[in-house]
Structure 1
Amino acid sequence: MTKIDEFADIRPYYDSEVREVLDRLLVDRELLNAVANLRMPRANRWFPKLLRPLVSAILRRQFRNVSSVAEFQVVVKDYMAQMIASSTSGLGVSGLEHLQANRAYLFISNHRDIALDPAFVNYALHSNGLDTVRIAIGDNLLSKPFAADLMRVNKSFIVQRSAKGPRQMLAAFRKLSNYIRHSLQNEQSSIWIAQREGRAKDGNDATEVALVKMIGMSQSKGEESFAEFAAALNIVPVSISYEWDPLDAAKARELAQIERDGSYQKAEHEDLKSIAAGIVGNKGRVHVHFGEPLRGDYADAGELAAALDRQIIGNYQLHSSNVLAYMQLFDDERWRELGLPQISESQQQEFDQHFANMPPDYRRKALEIYARPLCNQLRLCDEVQA
């Protein structure tokens, strides 16, 4: 009897499914338009019908011998390398000494960019001989069929946020929790998930206790304590920092509108457009830090979330953009307590130019976004010293 695939609707695609999915993607009109718009935006604006066959031919050549997830990710790595070269000032990685090649980890990171956060984690791991992760992605990002296929062939699994009603949501979260544990312990495949639902648009990296509780739904209560359950997951806090956020103005505008009107309504397919803008936009220096696996005697989800916050905030690599935003908002020199490098004249000029190009209506919100990680590190220092 064939075993029922209980996670078929949310799991990443298996190697046996990759070729069929790729053949479907390589003739998808919307995907071809999206790729053309990313690579040749001006030409695609005027000659979309002419570019689609060209893009299809290029992609067919690149993926013609791909028949597994690993082979697919080798091609993706080349695209990542091109993106890093064209839109960053370099990628820094630290903390790899905390990881072992033969272990599966639950990487929980702060969340600033929809697609690039796990992409940079994967690039850092793959470039250093470690296995890539399975990526948690909300079904709200899969408004187009090609997006779901593309994500799942790249080791993404689906978080069913659109489930309706308490019972359906509870069932979806329990399945997700069971899948995370199944992936880690039965299939020995690492997982990446953000510390919160949605990006920290205000720059405040805080772990949602509800997310930790969701992960904890697969705990075998009565057979293992919460601390034993958490230890078995090999949880690693990850801190991802961008010198510049390509979507800082958009995030600041949204925050200002919420403050003014009480709500913000996303445009259709806005998240997909944000993904594209994040990929091509200038990010300056990017840094990924892998923290130490959590091994504390955590009594509950709240204590575990607090431990995640201490590492994610404490290991966040601050950039000149964070310091200069803090200096502009606050009349104090407390940032010097963190032992950060002095700000150069060129960094000051770049900062001034960046904010001069931003509409004044939400410039202060953008400054607050950049200053928040530094504020959080100072608060963490105060807590340690207290």
Structure 2
Amino acid sequence: MLDPYADIRPYNDQEVKPVLQRLSGSPQLINALIRYRYPAMPGWLLALLRPFISRKLRQHIARVEHVKDFQDMVADWVQQLVANSTDEVVVQGLDKLDHGTSYLLISNHRDIAMDPTLINYSLHQQGWPTSRIAIGDNLLRNPDIADIMRLNKSFIVKRSLTNKREKLKELQRLSAYIRESLEADQSIWIAQREGRAKDGIDKTDTAVLKMLALNGRARDESFAQTMAAMRPVPVSIQYEWDPCDAEKARELVIRKESGTYEKSSDEDTRSILRGLTGYKGRVFVDFGKPLTGEDIESAEAMAAAIDRQMNELTELLPVHQAAANLLQNRPCEGDEMKAAEELKRRTAALTEEQGKRLLTTYAVPAKGITGL
């Protein structure tokens, strides 16, 4: 039987071995692993190490037979990553959800790879099945990255299509895949908007919600009926410190001043690596309440309900008030003083406008600061 989702769905158990064999022979992946582990290694030594690393990689993945095996292997790496890049990860709200139910997890979007990684880390740590992850095809230009993501329960959102008819057809297929996944007891993670909220303001795009509801048309369902069947739950992900804060500030100011911003060819890859490995301080992952009733009557009502829960779940940290104080030339006290010193260090290499942009982003959770 023809698989209607073969080109977008995660890999299944039967595909794991062939994909891993292909990856273990990839020179690009071997080089990336060596550079990640030994960033200062000279090129000539890298060439000598390549066969050794390739052999070790094949030995390491030889015992991986199924998707769960791969995720267990990834979980060990994520555990180490979290330990090295955060002070703590605080997970709240899962105890108010039904462990045996699949949910449509709709979160804010601050980091390309770390957001879904933390969602699944939080689920895994508390004994829940991990979710399938929606990821844009713009991040999958590298076939090795695409393979790794699809091994790790990611499915592809084809954002690069320009033909309107083809795009609608693809969105309908994506919506059907998400619905069928939920009906198969597979939770889904998707961001509330396309692209990261680089200004720190989390706002749900109704276009995402309307896409999710497309599958209901073929079933003669209303928007509310479709969403009730998909069981949407807002999730707030909050980083005390953003490893990509300076880069985001530069981009926003350049875009504001020139009207456009051209990414370099490897910018997304560098952002992924910086976001994964950079220092984040405390991280908060808060699972909200399932949306029901009036909150899912329309895309507009649902977007407002998600935004409302996101705001309620946001933690006010010393860095937020410190940023607000620096913007308004007010003194800092207690823990805010240490945060203010770190903010000054982070803005030192930026222009005045870029520094103000960075501070404004951090100040958003502080009362009265949104819109500065």
TM above 0.5, one fold? yes
How does the TM-score come out when normalised to structure 2?
0.93
CA distance in 2, matches of 1:213, 1:149: 29
Give the conservation status (yes or no) of the 8 Å contact 2:326–2:340.
Answer: no
* Structure 1 residue 203: Cα displacement: 0.8
* Structure 1 residue 373: Cα displacement: 3.1
RMSD between aligned residues: 2.1
CA distance in 2, matches of 1:316, 1:190: 23
Deviations 1:180-205 (A, max 9, x none): 101101x2101000000011111110
Structure 1 44/195 Cα, relative in aligned 2: closer, same or farther at 3 Å? farther
Partner of 2:344: 352
Partner of 1:280: 277
Give the conservation status (yes or no) of the 8 Å contact 1:241–1:318.
Answer: no
* Structure 1 residue 351: Cα displacement: 3.5
- Tell me, what secondary structure is at the counterpart of 2:366? helix
Structure 1 104/377 Cα, relative in aligned 2: closer, same or farther at 3 Å? farther
Structure 1 54/202 Cα, relative in aligned 2: closer, same or farther at 3 Å? farther
CA distance in 1, matches of 2:173, 2:193: 18
Give the conservation status (yes or no) of the 8 Å contact 1:83–1:279.
Answer: yes
Give the conservation status (yes or no) of the 8 Å contact 1:38–1:280.
Answer: no
Give the conservation status (yes or no) of the 8 Å contact 1:314–1:377.
Answer: no
Deviations 1:250-296 (A, max 9, x none): 10000010011000011113211210111121111111011111112
Q: Does 1:92 align with 2:84?
A: no
Give the conservation status (yes or no) of the 8 Å contact 1:236–1:291.
Answer: yes
Give the conservation status (yes or no) of the 8 Å contact 2:364–2:370.
Answer: no
Which residue of 212, 217, 237 corresponds with 1:215?
A: 212
CA distance in 2, matches of 1:161, 1:13: 20
Q: Does 1:200 align with 2:197?
A: yes
CA distance in 1, matches of 2:54, 2:365: 42
CA distance in 1, matches of 2:89, 2:340: 21
* Structure 1 residue 48: Cα displacement: 2.5
* Structure 1 residue 89: Cα displacement: 1.1
Which residue of 132, 135, 138 corresponds with 2:133?
A: 135
Unpaired segments of 5 or more residues in structure 1? 334-340, 380-386
Deviations 1:98-143 (A, max 9, x none): 2222111100000000000000010010011000010000000011
Structure 1 130/44 Cα, relative in aligned 2: closer, same or farther at 3 Å? farther
Give the conservation status (yes or no) of the 8 Å contact 2:321–2:336.
Answer: no
Partner of 1:244: 241
Q: What is the one-letter code of the residue matched to 1:214? A: M
Q: What is the one-letter code of the residue matched to 1:319? A: L
Which residue of 103, 109, 116 corresponds with 1:111?
A: 109
CA distance in 2, matches of 1:296, 1:378: 29
- Report % sequence identity: 45
Q: What is the one-letter code of the residue matched to 2:211? A: M
Partner of 1:373: 365
Give the conservation status (yes or no) of the 8 Å contact 1:174–1:217.
Answer: yes
Q: What is the one-letter code of the residue matched to 2:284? A: H
Task: Report matched runs for 1:161-310 at 5 Å.
Answer: 161-185=159-183, 187-220=184-217, 223-297=220-294, 298-310=296-308
Q: Does 1:324 align with 2:322?
A: yes
Unpaired segments of 5 or more residues in structure 2? none
Structure 1 313/47 Cα, relative in aligned 2: closer, same or farther at 3 Å? farther
* Structure 1 residue 21: Cα displacement: 0.6
* Structure 1 residue 349: Cα displacement: 3.5
* Structure 1 residue 360: Cα displacement: 4.0
CA distance in 2, matches of 1:53, 1:42: 19
* Structure 1 residue 378: Cα displacement: 7.6
CA distance in 1, matches of 2:313, 2:362: 16
